[in-house]
Amino acid sequence: MKILVINCGSSSLKYQLIDMEGEVLLAKGICEQIGDTNAAFTHKVPSDESKNIKDMPYEMADHGAAIKLVLSTLVSKENGVIESMDEIGAVGHRVLHGAEEFSDSVLVTDAVKAAIRKCFKFGPLHNPANLKGIEACEKIMSVPQVAVFDTGFHQSMPDYAYMYALPYEYYEKDGIRRYGFHGTSHRFVAGRCIELLGGKAEGTKIVTCHLGNGSSITAVKDGKCLDTTMGLTPLEGILMGTRCGSIDPAIVPTIMKEHNLTPDEMDTLMNKKSGMLGLAGTSDNRTIENRAKEGDERAQLVESMLCHQLVKYIGGFAAAMGGLDAVVFTGGIGENNPQYRTRVADKIKFLGTDIDEEKNHVRGKEIEISVPGSKVKMYVIPTNEELVIARDTKEIVEKL
């Protein structure tokens, strides 16, 4: 079976076509600036680079047009990897927010679409776009559609981990609680870590660190999420590329009053103008890394803050789980920045971490970076969220 994996943003559409026999990536790409006159299309075929398309301008009025472009490219003689659309057995969609409605991936129905629509208030940028992608595929294709939720993995959290100490009515009436995100990534790397630890989830205590432009840390006990850093939205937790992470809530009304900001303007400030960008003027971690080496104090501050926050959460989650077997680093920063891993490992040596610096000098490759016999093992495990979506889609469709 071949599965098309779709991840729609407000003005973008990422895709991968995966042959589930051997889990082989056939093609991937992205449509950007959908609805804009500057819309661009990138298409990559790992097995034949002559079929690649790089940043080509195309007319894409909406997500439906983008889907049509993707499908026509996948079957074209010049750039395609399949003979016909009929070879695509199903489509798996990343959906940001499923609230308490969904703890597992589901076959898309009218009721599922209605539930996704109900979650627009929690994911106003992502959920409407995710739904657009589903509906666009439904109009063009007659194959099963499956929704895989970013929040799903975290629905195993106990109430004492997901509740906020606000009047209970806000949870009952409005669904205000911690939901967590990057669920497919945390599930993938935690599952792989469990395999590396011997394959038995029961009894394992793992902290997974998904570090990128968006970052979150999760405590995974017995293979299930016990707690995570992101909350009602992806804003909570550690500092990120453009997000501030956790701050004193009183800062919000203080800044709004002092600078006469509207709620939307304050939301934009915290989500798009803060984090690394707000502190150092750039959200690009490589730039920050290079500037820090050159002595830039703001860049050095970002690195020190991020490492400090990582140590706080890893140590806190280890305490909450009653121990720690392994720490996993993943995501663009987690997989490609050895110095963060070194600094964190040194700070939590009291837990039993002992890092091998030679092994740690690696980027984007699965490897155990702790020394043999280390009480707490440390791993770099590249994430593969699209494969998680494809696997879930295949499993659901095969039961129909």
Cα R_g (the chain), whole angstroms:
21
Please tell me the distance from the alpha carbon of residue 144 to that of residue 23, in angstroms, as a whole number. 19
For residue 98, what are the CA distances in angstroms to 220, 287, 306?
20, 35, 29
- Which of 36, 110, 150, 159 is flagged as catalytic? 150
Q: In sequence order, what DSSP letters do the residues of 204-270 get, joined into one string?
A: -EEEEEE-SSS-EEEEEETTEEEEES--SSTTSSS--SS---S--TTHHHHHHHHHT--HHHHHHHH
Mark whether 159 is an active-site residue.
Answer: no
Please tell me the distance from the alpha carbon of residue 345 to that of residue 367, in angstroms, as a whole number. 15
Q: In sequence order, what DSSP letters do the residues of 7-70 get, joined into one string?
A: EE-SS-EEEEEEETTTTEEEEEEEEESTTSTT-EEEEE-TT-GGG-EEEEE----SHHHHHHHH
For residue 370, what are the CA distances in angstroms to 28, 78, 218?
33, 46, 20
Please tell me the distance from the alpha carbon of residue 185 to that of residue 193, in angstroms, as a whole number. 12
Please tell me the distance from the alpha carbon of residue 16 to that of residue 28, in angstroms, as a whole number. 4
Q: Identify any residues that bridge with 92 across adjacent strands, giving them in sequence order.
A: 5, 146
Please tell me the distance from the alpha carbon of residue 89 to that of residue 339, in angstroms, as a whole number. 43
How far is C-alpha 125 from the chain's CA centre? 15
Using alpha carbons, select from 286, 153, 164 the residue that is nearest to residue 221. Answer: 153
- The set of residues, in sequence order, having a beta carbon less than 8 Å from that of 119 and lying 6+ positions away, is 96, 97, 98, 99, 101, 127
Please tell me the distance from the alpha carbon of residue 239 to that of residue 241, in angstroms, as a whole number. 7
Q: Identify any residues that bridge with 223 across adjacent strands, giving them in sequence order.
A: none
Instruction: Please state the φ and ψ torsions of residue 28, each to the nearest 5 degrees.
Output: -150, 165
Residues with catalytic roles: 150
